[in-house]
Amino acid sequence: MFPLHRGRRLRTNESIRSLVRETTLSPSDFMFPMFITEGENVQVEIPSMVGIYRRSIDLTVKEVKEIYDLGIRAVNIYVKVSEDLKDNTGKEAWNPNGLMQQAIKAIKSACPKMIVMPDVALDPYSIYGHDGIIENGDVANDATNAALVKMAVSHAQAGADFVAPSDMMDGRVLRLREGLDAAGFHNVGIMSYSAKYASAFYGPFRDALDSAPKEADVEVPKDKKTYQMDYANRIEAVKEALWDVEEGADMVMVKPGIAYLDIVREVKNAVDVPVTVFHVSGEYAMIKAASERGWLDHDKIMMEQLMCIKRAGASLISTYFAKEAAILLNQK
C-alpha cells in the first residue's frame, strides 16, 4: 500500500506537467519600464543595465510598437531631464510641453491601445535627487503632494491611462484622485507604489535617471529612508496598501520583487485590487552579470523569477525582462 500517494505521477512528462500547472505566464502579464531622454535618434545603453537604453521619443515610439506586437500591453515611463530644468519645486514636472508630456502624447498617438503609466515623483526634476520638495532639511509631505497633483493632471491631459505615484508621500493617492476628478479625468486610474522599500536594489535605476540623493549646500536627507519603507517591516506594507486602496488606488505595487515575495503574498491576501510587482533594476542587473560569467542560465533564471513573482500573487509584473520574456513565450 505504501506509498498510496505518488506526487511524481503528475510530473511524469511535460504534457502532464502542463495540464496541472498552477501558474502561467503570458506577455500581457508584463509592463515594460522605459527611459526617455531629450533629442532625436538618441539611444544610449545604461552601463549597469545591459540591454536597457535611454531613448529619444522617436526611438521610444518605435520600441513601443515592437513590444505591442509581442503582446505587451503596458509601459511604465520615466524621463531624464536636463540639469538646467531641475530645481527644488519640480515645476518642470507639470510643464505641458515637457519631455514626459511629449512622450505620452507620442506613444498614445502611435500606439493608442498601449496602456501608458507615467511615473509620478519629483526626483528626476529635483536638484537634490529627492522625490519631493525640500523644506527645513526634510521632504515636505503636503507641499510635495500639491506638486504631484499638478504633475498627474498634466499626464492625464497628455493622454496617460494611469498615473503611477512612486514617491511614498502620505495621503498622496487621495490628493491625486481628488485632483484628477476635479480636472475631469475620472477614468484615469492610479497605480500606487504602496509598498516601496528603501532598497539597495535600485542602484542601476538611479544611474539611468541620475535620481540618487545629492550633496547640497543646504541640509537635505542623505537617503530616502524617511519616506520609503524599512525593509525589516512586513505589517507596515499591508497597512500602506490598504490605506492606498481606501484613498482610491486602482492597483497597488510592491517594490522590489524577488526579495519581497512574502510581502507580495501578504498584500495580495489583504486587498481587493490588482497587485503589481516591480522586478527592479538591481535584480535585472544581477541576472545579466551572473549569466555573462556563465554562472547562471540567463533564460531559465529569467523565466523562473518571473514565474515566481506571478505565483506569489502578481497580476502585473513591471520588468526590464519584458521584451526578452515575451519573445521566448511567443516561441513556445
Task: Look up the CATH number of the domain holding residue 315.
Answer: 3.20.20.70
Give the total residue count for the chain. Answer: 332
Mean pLDDT: which of 2-6, 213-217, 276-280 is highest? 276-280
SS3 of residue 267 by DSSP: helix
Does 139 reside within a domain? yes
Question: Which pLDDT band, with edges at 50, 70 and 90, does 240 fall under?
Answer: very high
Residue 216: what pLDDT? 67
CA distances from 190 to 96, 141, 157, 175, 185 (A): 20, 19, 15, 11, 11
- Asked if residue 205 lies in contact with residue 123, where contact means CB atoms within 8 angstroms, the answer is no
Residue 85: what pLDDT? 96
Report, as an integer, the average pLDDT of 192-203: 95
**Structural domain span for residue 181:** 29-330
Does 2 reside within a domain? no
Does 17 reside within a domain? no
Give me the number of domains the chain comprises. 1
- The catalytic position among 86, 108, 196, 268 is 196
**How would DSSP label each residue in 276-309?**
EEEE-HHHHHHHHHHHHTTSS-HHHHHHHHHHHH
Does 223 reside within a domain? yes
Predicted confidence (pLDDT) per residue in 137-155, tens digit: 999 999 999 999 999 999 9
- Does 209 have pLDDT greater than 80? no
Report, as an integer, the average pLDDT of 208-231: 82
Positions at the binding site? 240
Residue 115: what pLDDT? 98
- The catalytic position among 255, 268, 288, 310 is 255
Predicted confidence (pLDDT) per residue in 78-129, tens digit: 999 999 999 999 999 999 999 999 999 999 999 999 999 999 999 999 999 9
Residue 260: what pLDDT? 97
What letter would DSSP give residue 230?
P
Does 6 reside within a domain? no
Q: pTM for this one?
A: 0.94
* CA pair distance 116, 60, nearest whole angstrom: 12
Predicted confidence (pLDDT) per residue in 31-76, tens digit: 999 999 999 999 999 999 999 999 999 999 999 999 999 999 999 9
Rg (CA), the chain: 20
Mean of the per-residue pLDDT values of the chain: 95
Does 265 reside within a domain? yes
Q: Is 196 a catalytic residue?
A: yes
